[in-house]
Chains A and B, each alone.
Chain A
Amino acid sequence: MSPIQTSEYIHELTLRECIQCGKCTGGCPVSLKTSLNIRRLIYESLISDTVSPESHEELWDCTTCKTCTLRCPKGVDPCGLIVTLRGALVESGRIPSTVRDALKSITVRGNPLNMPPQDRTLWTEGLDIKYILEEEAEVLFFPCCMGAYDPRVQKVARSLVKVFQEAGVDFGILGEDEICCAHEARRLGEKELFEGTVEQYQEIFSEVKAEKLVALSPHCFNAFKNEYGELPFQVLHYTQFLADLIKQGKLKPVREIPKKVTYHDPCYLGKQNKIFDEPRFVLQSIPGLELVEMERCREWSLCCEGGGGRMWAEGTNIEVRLSHERVREALETGAEILAVACPFCMAMLEDAVKTLGLEEKLKVLDIAELVAMSLG
């Protein structure tokens, strides 16, 4: 492939504002373990007419947690540079085979997991859920491809349905009309696939008369909230929705869960959308539950390495995993349960607990599951 012209993106990403202070790389969760140095990538773009992304294998290390962009004092978007350079790689087809398969699966099957589209609603078996395109409902529940297909996250989706039903929420799903929101595809550099998906959804959503979209995953939530343009309903993450239900007295966790619980802030919920308090509020409304914090919580939260398409891109230096470090931090608090609010965090952290052989000491549970356990 021919190298990419820096003039194509330098202005859009306001890279010329960069003063090379390194705050981006300094806070980057993967920079300590791989050769990814976003500050240097910006520098290369600033001093060269062209860059060759294929020489930067570490581009696939980025989790798009966006800490770099959020902390940049000059308003530069370093994370955007990674996605742009990945885009050039996608265009030229020089991408890891796992990424290629995932992107192809989204295009062909509407999910990145290579699962048949007609199996999309198997998770709802035995649950009486409205199909929202046929029956109106106040809330459109979006379970994410993970909630629809991944056996572990299916449990989270089912828990959430149980909670909604207990609280008398009028909700429905898109059923087999549901496809991947393409949030991760966009982060893998597949901009066109994302834009196509947005168009498809705009058509689907125009037929939905819901007041709210409640997303199970912070990633889908971020896509619909910030990247889909104007939508005809309010977009909420489920932790926000549950917090509201509890405040309104419609949902009341009653059964005691006398456990020490620590909560891991997902990057796309916490850092990027500043939703720090609602998940904690929901946890604290469970009787008996004692919430303890890891030192790195809220704005300091350590990425689990599951975002930015990393579910389908191994990245370099796989011997060191941030999810392992995170699980150790959770153990240090004395917690017996590590609560999560994101399917990717669930996958990464549960995997880490298993790999480290800590299943006896620490359970990874989604907040939705804890709330469901606490119902009368």
Chain B
Amino acid sequence: MEKKPAALVIGAGIAGIQAALDIANAGFPVYLVEKEPSIGGHMAQLDKTFPTLDCSACILTPRMVEVARNPNITLITLAEVTSVEGEAGNFKVRIRRRPRYVDETKCTACGDCAKECPVLVPNEFDMELGMRHATYIPFPQAVPNKYVIDKRGVAPCKDACPAHIDVQGYVTLIARGKIKEALALIYKSVPFPGVLGRVCPHPCEEACNRGQVDQPVSICLLKRFAADYVRERGLWEEVLEIIRKTHIPPRDGIPEKNSVGIVGAGPAGLSAAYFLALWGYKVTVYDALPVAGGMMAVGIPEYRLPRDVLNEEIERIKSLGVEIKLNTRVGPDGIPLEELRQKHDAVLLALGAHKGLKLNIPGEELEGVFPGVEFIRKANLGQPVKVGEKVVVIGGGNVAIDASRIARRLGAKKVTILYRRSRAEMPASPWEVADAEEEGVEIQFLVAPTRILGENGRVTGVECIRMQLGEPDASGRRRPIPIEGSEFVVEADTVIPAIGQAVEAEGLGIEVTRGGTLNFNPLTMETGIPGVFAAGDAATGPATVVEAIAQGKKAAMAIDLYLRGEKVEVPEPSWHVVSLEEVKSQFRSFPLDRRASPKPRHEVEKLPPEERISGFSEVELGFEEEKAIAEAERCLNCAVCCLCMECVRACQAKAINHSMPEQTFELEVGAIIVATGYDQFDARRKPELGYGRYPNVLSGLEFERLVSASGPTKGKVKINGKVPKEVVFIKCVGSRDKTVGHPYCSRVCCMYTAKQAHLIREKVPDAKVTVFYMDVRAFGKGFEEFYDRVREEGVVYRRGMVSEIYKRGDKLVVRAEDTLLGRPVEVEADLVVLATGLEPRSDSGKLAEILGIEKSEEGFFAEAQRELYPVESSRPGIFLAGCAQGPKDIPDAVAHAKAAAAAALVLLTKQTEGRR
């Protein structure tokens, strides 16, 4: 049998559903394309229909199910038409389909995913009167009855994090009290949450959109909270199970050659080891130092990072099967790299940068001069370091700050930092600088050392010169220029230069860059020697812990690809970062109101400075649980879905796929029906009516959701928990109004207002109900009778358009002229319902262009001729159905749709016959 020509129906509200069913039932294939996750359109949102007062869902749902069951209908949700070529009988239509992130063939609509989803955002189907999860089904009767995940891109926190931790995810999990899950999610990207929660310079907080509203979410401390919580309660095994099961499961097909040797047990090396071990590789880590942790152990002072925190996190990595060989140097004076290369199938060089840079000024050889990194290393290893009473530290980075604060703790009376630029140019984190100053460290800006002075081989002071700032240099900071003749001497018995670190890169047989780092390809992490990779400070030069961790993970990914024999490439991801402007426009209500706690950032306590310098106790204290949860609730959920993977864990059908791609494809159809419906008028455009200002001024559709049994209040008419006793309806809002560009009558408001007034009388029998109207247009079968009925029920109709609404006490005041009395009146109300009119879809202009059809003056799609061709568009073969052509009530929309279906069928039938 020959294939029959198909029809395309765009939009699956009641008109689109009707047209699709009629064509399908006539035996022709239909593609029904819907932008939203479910079909049903606005009719699905209505409580009761007019004039029969049937339950809208009850009469619509069977039709929706018919669509789902009809073998001739292919339903394509979350999809839009992007182009139409060809002509009547032979159109080629391109469709773009957004991913649902839930496999429709597997989802059973059990709802387990939504139950676990920690994200709450306003629910569009309930006109944002209620909330929904990021993983959701728009309404219980949705067709297809499949869940969908709402993703808006990548939150700026995740984007800014070098390791791309799912920040929004773990913050939101903390907000819901799911602390173990939060820590497991952090572990998806980094194996050192307790370390990072203390020492990370947190670029995520700088990027946080909340920072533009008030202050950023305290992300770093929340990470520390999750880590401390699990550590203190001994919950690691449970966390590990989540990591293994969901976040970093063992990989299939690990090759037989799977032994990896890693040089350097710092953040880069151990991170690589962590991922490789979890995937299923055998990993041995070598380190020259007597302790594991690299710079985390020997470069960061204990008062910022207690050793038990670090050691426990290292132990966890070891427990995955990673062997760490300490006191084992690789390279000159140790195991030759070649030997390691023989022993392992791949080698990662993550040596770090442990050599202090020299000042290159006279006197550096004097007794009492310690390079910063060596000074801190010795102090951290518990080796004897003697500081005098007057210590001078040279430099402006975090190492200089650390050295100065250690010196204070080791008993130095006076510690002075000399920095050659001004405070604004200091690379050290401002909070670290503040802590140091609190502890009595003095900083002299715009001062550079020219000579270290000594007597009898011992340091006695530093000769300095004052500087001034010139033009910006390559780093973008203003270049310091010495002021001639400004030399002076600072007395000192100890001098600690902390002006930078270098890699001990020589002698490994790897090419070394001009900057002294190992030469590597950042896209593949490979060095010049096959199978030898590089990562961390040794490859990039000195950087932060989180950058080293990110490097380690990239190296692990590269090594995995290499050992599998695949193309080695680990590019930085490119993605859409959600801006605050987008966050504000994602939903109608401003995010602070409904999406996040309005509280300012929570602070943590610190040890008092006197107590701090008496030892090496941790300075900053973490969040308590209650405070952490309150702080996490400040997250705006910028990307909506926070990628926490709780849905993945919950879904037994394994239907969820967070990396489902967008699809584009082409359809061949003979006829097209446009049934895209309408938008509700945005009453904020009539500011005097107070919509958007007063929560008890509702639009027509909002009222439908308020009275609906499946709505956010389960059908109870309550505003702020109270039953309204005085209710005012206002007609013609956004209709018959030139000032908003809608000169037309929206046709449905008179009767839906009558229906809604009736529903109020029914649900709140003692309520006083007033309708302000201009005309009552009751033109259909049973309409006038219904109008009579509601007046009979006691609804008062007053002729006059409302001019303004404002609040007096706890009542709304509705001001209008009762034109029949001929005098202005003020009516008090607890609830005002605006009969908001219908307007063309906001994207109807774009669609008209894509389809090549014309619009009429009001912006709805134009019919070919108003009296005799009411369903034909200006382009042959494209037909109009329902409110896309102009405002209609349900009976009219259905009739119009049936007419459009008939017109399309004429075309399709002719085509079929033509083929014969």
Taking Cβ atoms with an 8 Å cutoff, the residues of A that contact B are: 19-28, 31-32, 37, 39-40, 67, 71-75, 295-296, 298-300
Query: Among the listed A21, A25, A37, A72, which residue makes an inter-chain contact with B774, where contact means beta carbons less than 8 Å apart?
Result: A21
A19: contacting residue among B774, B807, B815, B826, CB under 8 A: B774
Chain A CB within 8 A of B425 CB: no
Whether A71 pairs with B803 at a CB distance below 8 angstroms is: yes
* Residues from 677 to 710 in B contacting A, C-beta threshold 8 Å: 687-688
Report yes or no: B817 in contact with A25, Cβ–Cβ below 8 A. Answer: yes
Known: A32-B826, A74-B736. 7 other contacts (CB 8 A): A19-B736, A25-B824, A31-B824, A72-B739, A73-B801, A74-B738, A300-B806
Given contacts A21-B774, A22-B800, A26-B816, contact A71 B824 (CB under 8 A): no
Cβ of B822 under 8 Å from chain A: yes
Which chain B residues (800-825) contact chain A, with CB distance < 8 Å? 800-804, 806-808, 815-819, 822-825
Q: Is the CB of B818 within 8 A of A22?
A: yes
In the complex the two chains form, is A22's CB within 8 Å of B737's CB? no
CA distance A26 to B816 in the complex (A): 4
Q: A40-B822, A73-B739, A75-B739 are in contact. Are A300 and B817 (CB under 8 A)?
A: no
A22 contacts B819, C-beta separation under 8 Å? yes
B640 within 8 A of A: no
Which residue of chain A is the closest to B815 with respect to CB atoms?
A26
Offer 18 A-B interface pairs, CB within 8 angstroms, sorted by A: A19-B775, A21-B774, A22-B818, A23-B803, A24-B817, A26-B824, A26-B825, A31-B824, A39-B817, A39-B819, A73-B737, A73-B801, A75-B739, A295-B807, A296-B806, A299-B687, A300-B688, A300-B806
Contacts of B687 in A (CB 8 A): 298-299
Within 8 A of A (CB), among B727-749: 732, 736-739
Residue of A nearest to B775 (CB): A19
B817 near A31: Cβ-Cβ < 8 Å: yes
B688 touches A299 (CB 8 A): yes
B823: chain A residues within 8 A (beta carbon) = 31, 37
* B822 and A26 within 8 A (CB): no
Q: Verify B688–A22 contact, CB threshold 8 A.
A: no
**Which chain B residue has the least Cβ–Cβ distance from A40?**
B822
Q: Which residues of B contact A24 (CB under 8 A)?
A: 803, 817
Per the bound structure, the CA–CA distance linking A340 and B799 in Å amounts to 37
Contact A26 B806 (CB under 8 A): no
Query: How many whole Å from B749's CB to the nearest CB in chain A?
Result: 14
- Most B Cβ at <10 Å: residue of A31, A296, A298, A300: A300
We find that the number of chain B residues with CB closer than 8 angstroms to chain A is 28
Cβ contacts under 8 Å, A20 to chain B = 819
Closest B residue to A72 using CB positions: B739
Interface string of B770-809 (1 = CB under 8 A from A): 0000110000000000000000000000011111101110
| A residues near B819, Cβ cutoff 8 Å | 20-22, 25, 39
Q: Min CB distance, B746 to chain A, in Å?
A: 13
Q: Which residues of A contact B824 (CB under 8 A)?
A: 25-26, 28, 31-32
Residues of B near A19 (CB, < 8 A) are 736, 774-775
- Report B-chain residues with C-beta under 8 Å of the C-beta of A67: 803
Contact A27 B803 (CB under 8 A): yes
Contacts of A295 in B (CB 8 A): 806-808
Residues of B within 8 A of A26 (CB): 800-804, 815-817, 824-825
**Interface residues in B822-849 (C-beta closer than 8 Å to A):** 822-826
Question: Is A21 a contact partner of B801 (Cβ separation < 8 A)?
Answer: yes
A22 touches B816 (CB 8 A): yes
Which 6 A-B residue pairings sit nearest by Cβ, starting from the closest?
Answer: A27-B803, A22-B817, A26-B803, A21-B801, A26-B816, A25-B817
Contact for B804 among A25, A27, A75, CB less than 8 A: A27
Q: B818 to chain A: which residues have CB within 8 Å?
A: 22
User: How far in angstroms is the closest Cβ of chain B from A299?
Assistant: 5
Q: Is the CB of A23 within 8 A of B807?
A: no
A299: chain B residues at CB < 8 Å are 687-688, 804
The CA-CA distance from A112 to B774 in the complex, in Å, is 43
A75 proximity list for chain B (CB < 8 A): 738-739
A300 nearest in chain B by CB position: B806
- How far is B735's CA from A21's CA once the two chains are assembled, in angstroms? 13
Which residues of the other chain, B, contact A71 by a CB distance below 8 angstroms? 688, 739, 803-804
* B310-357 interface with A by 8 A CB criterion: none
Contact of A300 among B739, B804, B826 (CB under 8 A): B804
Contact code string B702-731 (vs A, CB < 8 Å = 1, else 0) = 000000000000000000000000000000
Name the distance in Å between A322's Cβ and chain B's nearest Cβ: 13
Chain B nearest CB, measured from A59 CB (Å): 17
Query: In whole Å, how far is B269's beta carbon from the nearest beta carbon of chain A?
Result: 51
Question: Looking at A19, A32, A71, which has the most chain B CB atoms within 10 Å of its CB?
Answer: A71
Chain B minimum-CB-distance residue to A35: B823
A28 to B823: give the CA distance in the assembly, Å: 11
B340 to chain A, nearest CB (A): 61
Taking the closest CB of chain B, its distance from the CB of A43, in whole angstroms, is: 9
Q: Which residues of B contact A74 (CB under 8 A)?
A: 736, 738
Contact of A73 among B732, B799, B808 (CB under 8 A): B732
Q: How far is the CB of B128 from chain A (nearest CB, A)?
A: 23
Nearest CB of B to A74, in Å: 6
Complex interface: chain B residues within 8 A of A72 (CB): 739
Q: Report Cα–Cα, A20/B708, bound state, in Å.
A: 35
| Distance between B249 CB and nearest chain A CB, rounded to angstroms | 55
Q: With A and B bound together, what is the CA distance between A26 and B808 in angstroms?
A: 17
Nearest chain B residue, comparing its CB with the CB of A299: B687
Report Cα–Cα, A296/B799, bound state, in Å: 25
Cβ distance B719 to chain A, nearest Cβ, rounded Å: 18
A32: B residues at CB distance < 8 A: 824, 826
Bound CA–CA A278/B819 (angstroms): 38
B411-445 at interface with A (beta carbon < 8 Å): none
B822 to chain A, nearest CB (A): 6
- Residues in A whose Cβ lies below 8 Å from that of B739: 71-73, 75
Residues of A within 8 A of B736 (CB): 19, 73-74
Cα distance A296–B738 in the bound complex, in angstroms: 25
